[in-house]
Amino acid sequence: MKSEKKQLLSVQEMIHQKKTNKGLFQTTEKAVPIFLLLCASVSVLTTLGIIFTLLSESFTFFSDVSLFEFFFGTQWSPWSDKFGVLPLISGTLLVTVIAACVALPLGIASAIFLSEYAGDTTRRVIKPVLEILAGVPTVVYGYFALTFVTPVLMNVIPELKIFNALSAGIVVGIMITPMIASLSEDAMNAVPNRLREGAYALGATKLEVTFKVIIPAAFSGIIASIVLAISRAIGETMIVTIAAGASPNLTMDPTQSIQTLTAFIVQGAKGDTTFGSTIYYSIYAVGITLFVFTFIMNLLSQYISRKFREDY
């Protein structure tokens, strides 16, 4: 009799506990989506805040400087009231083109090797090294470009200046190589093995499988990685600030000293700039120009990913 009462009591306790747990479970189920929504809202609100800040401060700048003068002027010297941003844009594009010429072959070749040719042991060694390379601070890359790459290049190109676009572009290319290699390798690894096996069954060599099957199948991911890496190169700051110089020249000569959009933002944000002056607001005008560049690159990356995506 006592055992029956104990059993009945334990059953009642279990039912009560289940009801309590059910209430807690329902409360948790309702709270988690709200928490996740708040987390997602932080990124949206941050983006809106950045856009609002750039636009509001840029409007003040463009009330003093015309849009035509800013976007089509060929001289950039804010301390002499010359606000033509073309020299900064040309410097940014010059460094980006050099970086792309370095990073594209290295990154894609590394991705092909890791995905199609390297064994497990080799991949376990090379992949962490690439990740370490991606984690090196950009200021270290900047001094590496200035103190090592530039002297080496000066032995080959005697007329090369101490501060130049070539060494900065090469090192920026080295910096974005791991991004292209890692993302492209992920895209290649996502291609189903049955495509490889089918190509091998038809008599294709490994090289033919790589270039005629794997790369076309992973094309959207590879292009997206390239666009994202180039966007990263456009927004690079410390390397170009240290190694490329601070001379806003409208030139496409990589041996010359140049200044990029990000390098001017660093220069203008120093304590020498008077708050509320036209030079101060020009930082935001250059900033929104840079924002438009990176925004267009991100949109292009998303468009390419959707356009050429393959579903298996």
Provide the pLDDT for residue 170: 92
Low-confidence ranges of the chain (pLDDT < 70): 1-26, 271-274, 276, 308-312
Tell which residue, 178, 193, 187, 194, has the closest CA to residue 216.
187
pLDDT for 4 equals 47
CB proximity list for 145: less than 8 A, separation 6 or greater: 167, 168, 170, 171, 239, 242, 243
Domain ranges of the chain: 1-63, 69-307
pLDDT, position 171: 92
**Which residues are paired to 83 by β-bridges?**
76
Q: What is the pLDDT of residue 101?
A: 92
Measure Cα distances from 160 to 70, 99, 150, 165 in Å.
30, 18, 8, 10
Name the DSSP letter for residue 117.
Answer: I
Buried b / exposed e over 83-95, threshold 16 CB at 10 Å, is bbbbbbbbbbebb
The answer regarding whether domain 69-307 maps to CATH 1.10.3720.10 reads yes
Output the pTM of the full model. Answer: 0.81
3 state SS for 225-263: HHHHHHHHHHCCCHHHHHHCCCCCCCCCCCCCCCCCHHH
Report pLDDT for 133: 81
